[in-house]
Amino acid sequence: MLIGQYGEKRRIPVTVAEIPHPQIQAFLAAEDERFYSHPGVDYKGLLRAANQLMITGKKTQGGSTITMQVARNFLLSKEKTFLRKLKEILLAIQIEQRYSKDQILELYLNKIYMGQRAYGLAAAAQTYYGRNLDDLKLHQQAMIAGLPKAPSVYNPIVNAERALERRNYVLRRMLALNFIQPAEYQQAINTPDDAATQPSNIEFNAPFIAEMARQEIVDRYGDEAYTLGLKVHTTVPSRLQLASDRAVQSALHDYDDRHGYRGLPHKKFRPGSTLHKLKALGDCRQAVVTSLSPTGIMTTVSDGSSMLIPWDHIPWKPLQIHSTNAQATLSATIKPNDTVWIRQLPDQSWTLSQIPAAEGALAAVNPYNGAILAITGSYDFYLSKFNRATQSKRQPGSGFKPFIYTAALEKGFTPASIINDAPIVIEDPSLENDWRPENYTRKFLGPTALRKALRQSINLVSIRLLQDVGIPNALETAMRFGFSREQLPATLSLALGSGYAPPLKMAAAYAVFANGGYLVTPYLIERIEDHTGATLFKANPKTVCKECLAGIQSEANPAPRVISVQTHFLMNSLLRDVVERGTATLAKQLQRTDLAGKTGTTNDQRDAWFNGFTPEIAASAWIGFDNSHPLGRGETGGKVALPMWIEFMKTALENVPEKPLTVPEGIVQAYINPSDGLLLDPSDKNGLWEYFTTETAPQRYSQPKQPEFEFDEEWLKETLF
């Protein structure tokens, strides 16, 4: 599907065989009726033009043949001198000796300038009439054939009267040469011209993807990118891109609806104004209020259709619009001719709406080769072209914790390792006061296993874990996942995700957890073709070799392994637990067992994330304000961003079979006491099964808990007295 077009020239190459014969005849009648009989130069035409020049002193007739025009357009300058004309004649004769008439005509019909940035016949047909060559009528064919003589003068869009005169001249020439019959001529000459500025023929609206591709092509080819006639194929399926856009818009509206109506745009619609000026942004449309009634608000949209907004489709609670009666408040606020925003709900009904104040982004990648599957950089590209999915620098918050846990597992910690969840004070000379980090709940659990700590996203455990692992080790681990050193602070705040990253970087990092432990690099352009269809570039990304994993040799470009098979398995187990029993249980509505990920919420809820994956796709969703204004108490990653991820995954995982987590060699299970991580007899109902590497599996049994001493006052009296 076509998602964007850029360039100084619009050209659609065609062969002579693809051009309808009447269209060729129209050009011959207008430009060179003896084309198929002269040797490249029409001497009769030249003599006639010279004679007119001598009589009148003006150049009233041209003597150039189609072949001479090819010579001039390809090989000569635009200067108007007798020397250049002589060169043109000599070159035309040589061209005729080396190329067939059809080859020369094909060059001409694809090269000639037709106005409106259109070069060539097929581009002109699309530019002026929005049609393919086979669909043009005779009067349209004649209009296009008349353009090469003077495209600016005979342009039917900007100079309709002169263009019509030229078209009718071409039709008269076609009749005189017996190319058309009198009846055809009469019908065409009486037909009004219908050339018009054509709407964009973009087949699928994906402006963020198109702009990313444009930037990459310009970086590769420079300014020539706009003139080479390149065709660029991206990695993004339209189905997933559409799902991504919908998911971002839906999540932003859900958040926005919870925070009240901000009021009318304060723009009255003037009676008599044209409705087509009403805007559309994201999934919202502007509408004009025509009346209010007991049933709701009647509106009219840009195409003249009427839409009823029932009172029970107002998404804001009465309290949020500062009244106990929503209908009364809105009736007093909204008047006929007011402009409002409306949007269509999944059940096809309409609701009053508004453009969200917060922003969101989503990025998804194929974890096996890094192919970008979806990018949505804002609520609407035409509202904000800043691509938050690739360009933003937002704190990942708790979404960064899995990389700290990975470093810990590599240093000998296990999912059952116990870390104390208790208050901590960090002295920092650079700060005015000591740092006293807190858990989101402001409660403390005491000694806590790593599995539970990650599942519940306990901040203080992550900080103590980073202290034990060491900041240099954690930084080295994170950089293996694709983070740059500049993104990562060398302080204990790293444990809480105080660095920065855009969603695409987070999706790529989580792809390591999805694909078996390999680093892949996101890429967008799959293939580049020139104007003939020849391949100039084909992506060769570093790929996770599934055949190699199965022990089969492959010539694939292998992605580097960055974590071991055993560490990968343990992290998958931990991150699947986040969905199964932790902060992301909302995702269980997808009814799959292979979902994994981590919520992320930063201080004061300034950023809300969910970074998640299955074995076939990794995606990161983010919501926040551009000015880092807090989202509000309770607006966590699990509440704000996770619904966006779920909505996208509903489409992304359609017909994708579940993939169970297979236990690799080097991993064992042990029945343990969750209080200390040591072995328990399986008959003890207070234990649980946990995974370990063979090197870190517990060897000692947990000691029974000693009963606490109970003070017996009566026994003491009898003993002492």
More confident residue, 555 or 303: 303
Confirm whether 31 is a catalytic residue. yes
Which whole number is the average pLDDT over 678-697? 95
Contact of 279 with 336, CB cutoff 8 Å: no
Distance separating alpha carbons of residues 92 and 71, to the nearest angstrom: 6
DSSP readout, 276-309? GG--EETTEEEEEEEEEETTEEEEE-TTS-EEEE
More confident residue, 518 or 83: 518
**Which amino acid is present at 42?**
D
**Confidence at residue 231, expressed as pLDDT on a 0 to 100 scale:** 92
**Confidence at residue 554, expressed as pLDDT on a 0 to 100 scale:** 60
Average pLDDT score, the chain: 89
* Window from 94-98, 207-211, 523-527, 549-553 with minimum mean pLDDT: 549-553
* Residue 247 confidence (pLDDT) above 90: yes
- Pick 262-356's CATH classification: 2.70.98.10, 2.40.50.140, 3.40.50.170, 3.40.1000.10: 2.40.50.140
* Residue 236 confidence (pLDDT) above 90: yes
pLDDT-derived band of residue 597, with 50, 70 and 90 as boundaries? Answer: very high
**Confidence at residue 319, expressed as pLDDT on a 0 to 100 scale:** 39
More confident residue, 60 or 667: 667
* Residue 716 confidence (pLDDT) above 50: no
Distance separating alpha carbons of residues 136 and 19, to the nearest angstrom: 11
More confident residue, 203 or 664: 664
pTM above 0.85, yes or no: no
Helix axes 121-129, 101-111, angle to 10 degrees: 40
Percent of the chain residues topping a pLDDT of 90: 69
Indicate if 362-652 has the same CATH topology as 10-189: no
* Residue 124 confidence (pLDDT) above 60: yes
Per annotation, catalytic residue among 31, 96, 106, 359: 31
* Window from 141-145, 184-188, 192-196, 435-439 with minimum mean pLDDT: 435-439
Q: Two tokens at 647? A: 């909505």
Which whole number is the average pLDDT over 13-33? 93
Q: What are phi and psi of 163, to 5 degrees?
A: -65, -40
* Residue 10 confidence (pLDDT) above 90: no
Distance separating alpha carbons of residues 658 and 625, to the nearest angstrom: 35
Per annotation, catalytic residue among 64, 250, 398, 493: 398
Contact of 692 with 679, CB cutoff 8 Å: no
**Confidence at residue 313, expressed as pLDDT on a 0 to 100 scale:** 83
DSSP readout, 423-476? ---B--TTSSS-B----TTS---EEEEHHHHHHTT-HHHHHHHHHHH-HHHHHH
Closest CA to 401 of 622, 605, 571, 521: 571
Instruction: Give the residue extent of every domain in the chain.
Output: 10-189, 262-356, 362-652, 666-721
Tokens 């020849």 belong to: 534
Q: Two tokens at 585? A: 């249980």
More confident residue, 106 or 198: 106
Tokens 């002026």 belong to: 128
Distance separating alpha carbons of residues 127 and 111, to the nearest angstrom: 15
Bridge-based pairing state of the strands 118-119 and 10-11: parallel
Angle (CA) 235 237 239, round 5°: 165
* Residue 672 confidence (pLDDT) above 80: yes
**Confidence at residue 260, expressed as pLDDT on a 0 to 100 scale:** 84
Contact of 601 with 398, CB cutoff 8 Å: yes
Which whole number is the average pLDDT over 30-51? 78
Residues 6+ apart with CB under 8 A from 173: 29, 30, 33
* Residue 605 confidence (pLDDT) above 50: yes
pLDDT in tens, 376-435: 999 999 999 999 999 999 999 999 999 999 999 999 999 999 999 999 988 866 666 788
Distance separating alpha carbons of residues 500 and 478, to the nearest angstrom: 12
**Confidence at residue 721, expressed as pLDDT on a 0 to 100 scale:** 46
Distance separating alpha carbons of residues 16 and 289, to the nearest angstrom: 55
**Confidence at residue 317, expressed as pLDDT on a 0 to 100 scale:** 58
* Residue 60 confidence (pLDDT) above 50: no
pLDDT-derived band of residue 710, with 50, 70 and 90 as boundaries? Answer: low
Does the domain made of 362-652 have the CATH classification 2.40.110.10? no
As its CATH architecture, domain 10-189 has: Orthogonal Bundle (1.10)
Confirm whether 305 is a catalytic residue. no
* Residue 265 confidence (pLDDT) above 60: yes
